[in-house]
Amino acid sequence: MLDGYVSRFIQCDSGKLISDKFHKRVFDHSTIMYKLSFYVAGMHCDSCVKLITMKMKKIDGVSEFSITRDGKAELSANREVGLSEVKSVLQGMEYTVTAA
């Protein structure tokens, strides 16, 4: 199990995301999406938000990333991304990453 909050979703042809717990076998043609929610502390300005966003979007498989000024972050990927991988991307910077 990964060290963060992870949800798996299936994206139907219509673009709607649904939980894979019930529908996984029905939509074999769909893409499974993984979501990871976490917090980032140590941000000071909009430039911090932009820098973290740029770093997160460089992680292999990440399709979407959002973060608020208060540090609540969420990424979507086509593979499981763990909190440890997020921490390693921001290693050496002034930010602290914790599970949501």
State the pLDDT at residue 80: 92
Contact 74, 35 (CB under 8 A): yes
**CATH code at 86?**
3.30.70.100
State the pLDDT at residue 20: 44
- If one counts the domains in the chain, the total is 1
Mean pLDDT by 10 residues, the chain (100 residues): 47 53 40 90 94 96 94 94 96 94
- The answer for residues whose C-beta is within 8 angstroms of residue 54's C-beta and 6 or more apart is none
With 0.85 as the threshold, say if the pTM is over it. Answer: no
Range of the domain at 32: 5-99
